[in-house]
Amino acid sequence: MEKVKIVFFDIDGTLLDDDKKLPSSTKEGIKALQENGTFVAISTGRAPFMFEYLREELDIDTYVSYNGQYVVFENEVIYKNPLSETQLAQLHKDATNHTNTPMIFMTEKTMKASVDHHERIEEAMGSLHFPHPEKDDTFYRNREIYQSLLFCTDEEQKLYEGKYGQFRFIRWHEYSLDVLPKGGSKAQGIKKLIERAGFKLEDIYAFGDGLNDVEMLETVGHGIAMGNAMDEVKKFADYVTDDVNDDGIYKGLKHFNLI
């Protein structure tokens, strides 16, 4: 294939800085990658509809979204792995009955909340600069839900661990967990994309900063942690670049002679 290398970028804390803005050096670096004939892809826990503007701005048509559950290669959906509706119904029931914990249910196009208003949803979604979704507590029925959000604390999380054999939980905010299919990860989504596109492992690079990036950084040929990444994440990286606010992406690309 013509383009033998591909670089995956996480969004929050990686492509976007603390203010959820795209640093000019990052945009410059990605443009240089594309001009060099390198594939550029996004790998995120976000839903496709939550970063459409970013794909347009950066001219990216390949992405791993929902932490690997919805994968698109050159604008074609190549892999889907929705949550079990039966277990999602049980989790919703338990969350409501045990701790009155709110949830969000997400398709590839939109999201709905289990409640009209909740401070935890406001705070967590606000950190991503997204509003509180509309309420539809049965939205998960008869739909492909690729990710759910459970708005609980660390202490409350213990009530749910080990009770849902088809799910895994990854914390991304003080008040929120990603609910994914068991075995689901960015790494699995990337593997599906590799199978389809034929990239070699040594030609795959990935930048990330969060706990949901660990498997990805471990799996690819060159895993790069941002300087602002959690220490736990940095342990799994082949290289640690500078902070997202200090041209970390651009410097990382330069380090590997990709630009």
User: What residues are annotated to the active site?
Assistant: 10
Reduced to 3 DSSP states, what percent helix, strand and coil does the chain have, rounded to the nearest 5?
35, 25, 40
Outline where DSSP puts E strands in 10-58: 39-43
Q: Which of 166, 138, 165, 167 is nearest to 150 (CA)?
A: 167
Contact 241, 226 (CB under 8 A): yes
Beta bridge partners of 181: 167
Q: C-alpha angle 211/217/219, rounded to 5°?
A: 120
As a whole number of angstroms, the distance between CA 38 and CA 3 comes to 6
